Structure 1
């Protein structure tokens, strides 16, 4: 009986081999299309009308906190610009997104930002899919899960610009770093997640580890060894009736070496920074398409170190610096139906305590910004937003407060297969 079964198997093997040889070539070719990743592209285009012209707006800032928040700026041969940077028309970016499972154990995602000035890798990371026990690991270049909005891409924001406190403390792109992330979701009846991230530490506004060098490439001020930024957070969410509550607390700590050698008063800050955050989001659904969402985040930072006054070859003076700065934003967005959405936002930085060599310098701290928007969605792939900003946070180089009124019309169009965004 065994011989008969073996002979039958051999005959079947040769028979199917002959059939395969006789199949047309296109039937025998490996089907690559089954392994092509999901591909999508997002185009973001805007028209901006400011009450302050392009030449002046780039010189405005928040004393003791940040400068260069608006407009375009030159960094050597590279042009750096915020979203909606210029009066008139702006092609903010073309975002190309690739995502796919690599095997049963990992998925891969990449987000590339194309602009008139080049291409940047916004994110490129792998994610574990089979660790089990509520664990998930991620590695590569990624948006940190610090707070609520930091992990969201620009095209998902409810407003066309980043909240004032985030942009002032962390820059336009937030905490967007090379590094590793580990998250654990607890086996509880409600959502509870804890996360830890070890990141390179190259944030443009608050963290940094690159040594300051003279014209010959010799280090004048030594930077820290990377990785030098550590982030932790705890997040929870629960539902009652038609309302979802999402809340979290976050903490980041790292070394800071911030190069301001191109400022009017050239200096370099070297020290340690700590950032505390708390966020609360409440979403109430009236029906399948209508809802109201309240979103708020609070940030507070501590920066302690030495400010070096520098020239191209040496250190000309030092100051011991202590900064305690805090702010928040709060926004309310009403979704009327599939097509229409309305929102308002309030931004403030209410604390700006700075000490130089132990003496309080009594820096200004009345930074406020007000925004309102109306948004129309012809479909889930396109949206048009009209936004008005009244920015009372900026000061010029003479220390005079400037009020900026901005009207912005933004178009955001997407094509291709794009995965759903998290809540």
Structure 2
């Protein structure tokens, strides 16, 4: 059996062996040409040079051992401070630099989510409040969402959601999250959806319905409550799951801070000009198959109706989930409800209103599910309890109730079809409104599971 000397004077032999290995590897990866197309030996290499001999597996093993020993000796004998070339890992897609505990590579999770819908309304001007809702007869592009996520280093993670519409591009979220704070603390900074309630912090592809409940749009805006700022969350050491969350964000944005400064051009002059949000989340495993999530939320911030006039929003949410895990079953039953009580100071009065929705969803097979939702919104009332004209919604002088129902089909986990119908009983209109949606969703790329 042939062996290879590892003396420094044999460098030429090592180079020749590497060349032979490269040639053998390339030959193994490329398809062999037909027999009649094989060039003569004299044309395959340098004139007068014999073709390379085939190496046995034993010889290849000895050569690899020799190359590994040469590399190790070179690193040991290298002068201090000399940088070594990065070494490839066996997987071939990361680089490990000697002396550093990092791969040198950030892996991005990228995904695209397309939501389109065909819609039919009986009303000429549908009263949809969501920024991604179908709003006209015919075809609607609800959104094309690009989701980006990556662990930056041992201390931070980066996430972003960029939404493409027919007439522009919007940075919906872009924030960093800490990964290594002590005492069960975590901090987010950037632009993000606040964690008020349950639905506000989610995106349309995580919803059980095509459109957003009008309670969220009426109180916070069509895009859901979000802003530039920072958030601190703390997982308490109590015997049951309790998470405390506090955030401070900009109170400006017609579609994101409607009850606060909204579309005004007010500037931040003090901490009182920010929206402050506080949330308590509690989780209770009622049994192996049944669990409950209950939350309390509050938000306060300035509104543009007068000097130091403020808006306060209080909410509660509940999420009940039944999924048998003690037996083989695809059944999933959920119940979700949220209520929003809003109090706004205006010149000479204080306006209050209440908005809520409740929904139930039943996934009765791997590919099929159905859901029903009820929504309620009351008119604004003054301090005396009488109905008054709301500057934000001057037409909203009576109760509004909407009932929606749908059926959903998943061809695979990457696509979804949903047929939805609704009747909207608008108290200040003479007749109810009706709507029908047929929505298609397509997902491609890496997209993580949504929070429970």
TM range (shorter): 0.7 to 0.9
1:265-344 correspondence to structure 2 within 5 Å: 271-287=309-325, 288-306=329-347, 320-344=348-372
**Greater percentage in strand:** 1
| Inter-partner Cα distance in structure 2 for 1:229 and 1:362 | 26
Question: What's the counterpart of residue 407 of structure 1?
Answer: 436
Shift of 1:35: 2.4
Q: State TM-score, norm by structure 1.
A: 0.76
Distance apart, 1:34 and its partner CA: 4.5
Counterpart CA distance in 1 for 2:302 and 2:419 is: 40
Counterparts in 2 of 1:112-191, with a 5 A limit?
A: 112-191=162-241
Q: Which runs of 5+ in 2 are unaligned?
A: 1-70, 97-102, 390-396
Cα 1:49–1:188, aligned 2, differ >3 Å: closer, same or farther?
same
Measured after TM superposition, the shift of residue 10 of structure 1 is 6.7
Question: Among 272, 282, 290, which residue is 1:236 paired with?
Answer: 282
Task: Using the TM superposition, give the Cα deviation of residue 42 of structure 1 relative to its aligned residue in structure 2, in angstroms.
Answer: 0.2
Query: Which of 23, 40, 43 in structure 1 is aligned with 2:111?
Result: 40
* Equivalence map 1:89-100=2 (5 Å): 89-100=139-150
Change (3 A) 1:211 1:69: closer
The whole-number CA distance in structure 2 between the counterparts of 1:191 and 1:166 is 26
Distance 1:249 1:411 in 2: 34
Match of 1:354, SS? coil
Give the structure 2 partner of residue 314 of structure 1: none
Contact 2:350 2:382 in 1 (8 A): yes
Preserved CA contact (<8 Å) 1:224 1:255:
no
| Superposed displacement of residue 165, structure 1 | 1.3
Q: Which has the higher contact order (CA 8 A, sep 6+)?
A: 1
- What is the total number of aligned residue pairs between the two structures? 355
User: How many angstroms apart in 2 are the aligned matches of 1:382 and 1:33?
Assistant: 35
Contact kept in structure 1, 2:379 and 2:387, CA below 8 Å: no
1:57-136 equivalences under 5 Å are 57=126, 69=129, 82-136=132-186
Residue 391 of structure 1 and its aligned partner are, at CA, apart by: 1.1
Instruction: Tell me the secondary structure at the aligned position of residue 174 of structure 1.
Output: coil
CA distance in 2, matches of 1:422, 1:359: 40
How far apart are the structure 2 equivalents of 1:196 and 1:124?
Answer: 18
2:302 maps to what in 1?
255
The equivalences for 1:344-383 within 5 A come to 344-350=372-378, 352-354=380-382, 360-361=386-387, 364-383=397-416
Tell me, in whole angstroms, the C-alpha distance in 1 between the residues paired with 2:94 and 2:364.
51
**Whole-Å separation in 1 of the counterparts to 2:187 and 2:445:** 27
Which deviates more, 183-192 or 326-335?
183-192
CA–CA separation in structure 2 for the residues paired with 1:144 and 1:110: 14
Greater CA radius of gyration, 1 or 2? 2
* Long gaps (5+) in structure 1: 1-7, 61-67, 71-80, 213-221, 259-267, 307-319
Once the two structures are superposed, residues 270-298 of structure 1 have per-residue CA deviations (whole angstroms, 9 ceiling, x without a partner) of 82100000001110113552111010001
1:254-279 Cα offsets, whole Å, 9 max, x none, are: 00127xxxxxxxxx998210000000
* TM-score, L = length of structure 2: 0.72
Q: Note if contact 2:422-2:435 (Cα within 8 Å) is conserved in structure 1.
A: yes
CA contact (8 A) 1:327 1:351 kept: no
Stretch of structure 1 that moved more, 226-235 or 113-122 = 226-235
Say if 1:30 and 1:354 are closer, same or farther in 2 by CA, change over 3 A: same
Matches of 1:28 and 1:248, distance apart in 2: 43
Distance change in 2, residues 1:236/1:416 (3 Å): same
Shift in Å, 1:117: 0.8
